[in-house]
Chain A
Amino acid sequence: MGNFDLLAFAFSIIRVMTPLLFASMACMIFSKGGVDSIATEGIMLFCSLAAPLGSWMFGNCWAGLLFGIAVGILLTCVFGYVTLFLKTEPVLAGIALNVLASGATIFIVYCLTGEKASTQSIASSTLPIVDIPVLEKIPVLGDILSGHNILTYLSLLSVLVLSFFLFKTKSGLRMRTVGENPDAAESVGLSIIKYKYMTLIIAGTLIGMGGAFMSMGYVSFFSKNMVAGRGFIGIAAESMGHGMPGGILLSTLLFSVADALAIQLQVMGLPPELMQLMPYLVTIVAIAVYSYQREKKRLQHA
């Protein structure tokens, strides 16, 4: 185990956590606002294509990020429209969007570049890396926490901002009410549609940033199916974290540790496939254990 670099390992945990955290925060908002979150995966894939395309079209990485976010909002709203107004079964609509994403992104890439695998041939930029003053000078802590992509910091910040929004502001209170008991909201004359769309827009923004990180932070181009289940992990983290921001952050961290560890162990010669399946297995076990305990408690009460 001589070549194990603990600092680099800790750094990589935070790095792999970024898109997952955006996804799980989006799923948290979905679940609080009473919208199904299964389309997160597909929408994030669309966003990870939209962001570098935006940066290429407008020649600016920030415009790329904004374009990714705009696509995220647009698609969550489409999903919302389809499930809330056309009353399509959300799981089926989500699967449809996910299937559409993996095909349509390739389709678009092909139409623009003539290739199907990635957008490496078009010029897009990445979002900047941020060194945090003072913190970067502190040994260990600085090595781990400083020098990440700006979206990484935004993802961590989003946990705080969203907690504040949900539990301290009146819009947050109303959104939770609409999500938990729409009849209660209606009985005091609140517009359900307004708060559903608020949910969709916030979640779309988060998914947009998560997608943008994939192709403008993690790497500098879009490649096909690059989201690879991160949207689904967001759903799992939300369910494991009991819907509370802190719990969801911890669940996402757990998955990221397993993921980073898998990469590390793979480097050290353990079978890569088995290492890759670890994070997913950990998630299943954690959800099973958590659900079992909750069920046992419920039955004991009965």
Chain B
Amino acid sequence: MDSKSRIKFEILKSALAIGIALLIVLITILLISEEPWQALYAMFIGPFTSLRRFGNIIESMTPLIFTGLSVTMLYRVGLFNLSMEGGFFIASVAATASAVLLDLPPGLNLLAALFFGALAGGISSLIPGMLKVKCNASELVTSLMLNYVLLYLGLYLVVNYLRDASMNANYSNAFPENMLLPRLVSGTRINAGTLIALLAVAVVYILFHYTALGYKITLIGKNARLARMAGINVGSVIIISQLIGGALAGIGGSVELFGMYKRFQYTGLPGFGWDGVLVATVAQFKPELIPLSAFLLAYLRVGANIMSMETDVPSEIFSIIQAVVIILISAQAILKKYQHRQVVKTARQEVLNNG
């Protein structure tokens, strides 16, 4: 199958997956809600009824772009490193520490915080990557465990070293005003973080399409033994990819912090890492499609929130969409018959052409 019919096929499959997910949501709402039509209106039209709401989509899209890119980077080399969840969190702790504890001049303080965030995220993903390369330990298992270590480590640091004693909750001291990312559209919280996210998309796209490193990462994901036989240092490419992947989640954690909050106030893992899996899956692990897929996810999430505020349907209905879409889009067997027909057709044609 050539690239054109493959793209056609992928689009068909994604549309089918999203369609089925929405159908399930529709049925669920019809079953449980007293006011199903209002609920549907709130969910699907609601996000576009005011500038503030549309702004909500863009704001919620930003961290999703980062974790979507992170998952893409971690996964394309062929590893199942799920540490982006904990990495996003611990990075925001590191960025908080940098913001609250270091007394740096404006501008530099933000750069330092982003740097420490990226570093914390990078190290988080590096650990399972290293254990995989050096000990052949399952990165899936170690990263799942690591997420909890990072959660409790972060909470420990916040409670003991960064907490604002005047607050009733475990919130950190407020960040210096000059560190908050500038708002771009008045009446919304759309901020410079979104631009940083789009920049990150461009960088990752260039990395995969125009650098030897990106090529190597993809090749290792497709056949690590060929890569090794071709003289590529597989271990170090894996480690670098994990470091970059974690750093992307880390920058995401820091950008979210300074874009949307005035102080650190997470009490648990915020779940953006898992969302990143959905974003990356819908984008078929292609960086250039990440913003689109993050927008789609953010739109549905904002819609679900509006629905839960205005009607009797809770926003958690969103998790159904998320699960169904991941499962169906990554299902290899769906539309296989269609795909096979295409393959056989192409192959027969070739046999004819070549005699």
A interface residues with partner B (beta carbon < 8 Å): 38, 82, 85-89, 91-93, 95-100, 102-104, 106-107, 110-111, 116, 229, 232-233, 235-236, 239, 271, 273-274, 276-277, 280-281, 283-284, 287-288, 290-292, 294-295
Known contacts A96-B326, A280-B145; decide if A111 and B274 are in contact (CB<8 Å): no
Tell whether A91 pairs with B316 under 8 Å between CB atoms, given A96-B323, A232-B145: no
Whether A273 touches B155, Cβ cut-off 8 Å, given contacts A99-B274, A239-B138, is yes
Identity of the chain B residue whose Cβ is nearest the Cβ of A225 in the assembled complex: B268
- Whether A100 lies near B319 (C-beta < 8 A) is yes
Q: A104-B316, A111-B32 are in contact. List 20 more A-B contacts (CB 8 A).
A: A86-B328, A86-B334, A87-B331, A92-B327, A93-B327, A96-B324, A99-B322, A99-B323, A100-B323, A116-B316, A229-B148, A233-B145, A271-B159, A276-B148, A287-B142, A288-B142, A290-B137, A291-B135, A292-B135, A295-B135
Decide if B186 is an interface residue (CB 8 Å cutoff): no
Residue contacts A-B, CB under 8 angstroms, 24 given? A82-B327, A86-B331, A86-B333, A87-B331, A88-B330, A89-B332, A92-B277, A95-B82, A98-B274, A100-B319, A103-B319, A103-B322, A106-B314, A107-B319, A236-B141, A236-B144, A273-B152, A280-B146, A281-B145, A284-B127, A287-B137, A291-B138, A292-B135, A295-B136
Residues of chain B within 8 A (CB-CB) of A38 are: 140
Q: Is B316 touching A110 in the complex (CB atoms < 8 A)?
A: yes
Q: Is the CB of B156 within 8 A of A86?
A: no
A294: nearest chain-B partner, CB-CB = B136
CA distance A55 to B271 in the complex (A): 31
Q: Chain B: interface secondary structure?
A: helix
Instruction: Evaluate contact between B140 and A91: CB separation under 8 angstroms.
Output: yes
B316 & A276 in contact (Cβ 8 Å cutoff): no
Q: Which of B145-178 contact A (CB under 8 A)?
A: 145-146, 148-149, 151-153, 155-156, 159-160
B331: chain A residues within 8 A (beta carbon): 82, 86-88
A100–B322 CB distance below 8 A: yes
What is the interface of chain A mostly: helix, strand, loop, or mixed?
Answer: helix
A81 to chain B, nearest CB (A): 10
B: which residues have CB within 8 A of A? 32, 80, 82, 127, 131, 134-138, 140-142, 144-146, 148-149, 151-153, 155-156, 159-160, 271, 274, 277-278, 281, 314, 316-320, 322-324, 326-328, 330-334
> Are the C-beta atoms of A239 and B141 separated by less than 8 Å?
yes
Given A99-B323, A110-B314, answer yes or no on A284-B146 (Cβ-Cβ < 8 Å).
yes
Contacts of A93 in B (CB 8 A): 326-327, 330
Name the A residues within 8 Å of B160 (CB-CB). Answer: 271
Which A residues touch B142, using CB under 8 A?
284, 287-288
Residue from the list B134, B135, B152, B314 in contact with A274, Cβ < 8 A: B152
Task: Check if B80 sits within 8 Å of A107, measured CB to CB.
Answer: no
**Measured CA separation A232–B269 after assembly (Å):** 15
Q: What residue in chain A is nearest B142 (Cβ atoms)?
A: A284
Provide the residues of chain A in CB contact with B151, threshold 8 Å. 277
B134 touches A95 (CB 8 A): no
User: Which residue of A87, A95, A111, A290 contacts B314 across the interface (Cβ within 8 Å)?
Assistant: A111
Complexed CA–CA distance, A287 and B140 (Å):
12
Set of chain B residues within 8 Å of A100, measured between Cβ atoms = 319-320, 322-323
B148 pairs with A103, CB closer than 8 A? no
Kindly identify which residue among B80, B145, B278 contacts A91, using a CB–CB cutoff of 8 Å: B80
A257 to chain B, nearest CB (A): 16
Partner of A277, one of B141, B149, B333: B149
Q: In the complex, what's the smallest C-beta–C-beta distance from A108 to chain B, in angstroms?
A: 9
Q: Please, how many angstroms separate the alpha-carbon atoms of A110 and B319 in the complex?
A: 14
A107 and B323: CB pair below 8 A?
Answer: no
A87 engages B333 (CB within 8 Å): yes
